Amino acid sequence: AQSVAQPEDQVNVAEGNPLTVKCTYSVSGNPYLFWYVQYPNRGLQFLLKYITGDNLVKGSYGFEAEFNKSQTSFHLKKPSALVSDSALYFCAVRDQAGTALIFGKGTTLSVSS
Amino acid sequence: DTGVSQNPRHKITKRGQNVTFRCDPISEHNRLYWYRQTLGQGPEFLTYFQNEAQLEKSRLLSDRFSAERPKGSFSTLEIQRTEQGDSAMYLCASSHGSSNQPQHFGDGTRLSIL
């Protein structure tokens, strides 16, 4: 069965510091991986995806993610955090044959000024 | 691209009542999805349409739930005889073409059962 784990409920960083939000996955076959961000009382906004190709994927708002097949991980990163990055972040996976996204429980990112 | 639109944004109803939510996807998207999100959890898949055909349903979609997409455009999700456990955010998403395209989400309908 497909699954996603986000091991940290909350990540705290200071503005200007690099940030990492961790994600590991389990899927049969090759994964399609996604990161979304959710602000209070809003839907999910797409940040980036990995389908195939280069292991480092660049997305919206300066975010990037690194796909590591051997560690089955897809960590979200940003070189310099902004206070406005504070939000709830979800990692999701889908196998090539599937349609539904399987989401992790989410990680709350808090960036302090 | 006006985004995915969901109405109403909030719905408060008494236990046992029926409720219906509407989703208008991005116009050129042929795929439409419904998810449910409870507090502290990620969204959970409910059902999927390609054009007007409902192709996949989760085991979460009990027989009190029904979804339609009559002309392959907007979709409705109806919950009959609501229960306390139905309280959640109901999210609609749409996508274009193949399965490697991202799903774009609406802002959801928050359902509260009194």
Q: Tell me, what's the pLDDT at B1?
A: 54
Closest-CA distance of chain A to residue B39, Å: 10
Q: What is the pLDDT of residues A37-80, one digit of tens each?
A: 999 988 999 999 999 889 999 999 999 999 999 999 999 999 99
pLDDT above 60 (res B5)? yes
pLDDT above 90 (res B2)? no
Residue A85: what residue type? D
pLDDT above 90 (res B71)? no
Q: Which residue of B has its CA nearest to A100?
A: B45
- Residue A13 CA neighbour count, 13 Å, CB half: 22
Mean pLDDT of chain A: 94
Q: Tell me, what's the pLDDT at B72?
A: 86
Q: Which residue of A has its CA nearest to B58?
A: A100
Chain A residues inside the 8 Å CB shell of B48: 99-100
Tokens representing residue B102 in the block: 């991202």
Q: B45, A102: Cβ pair inside 8 Å?
A: yes
Name the residue among B45, B57, B26, B50 with its Cα closest to residue B98.
B50
Q: A101, B43: Cβ pair inside 8 Å?
A: yes
Give the SS3 label for residue B84.
helix
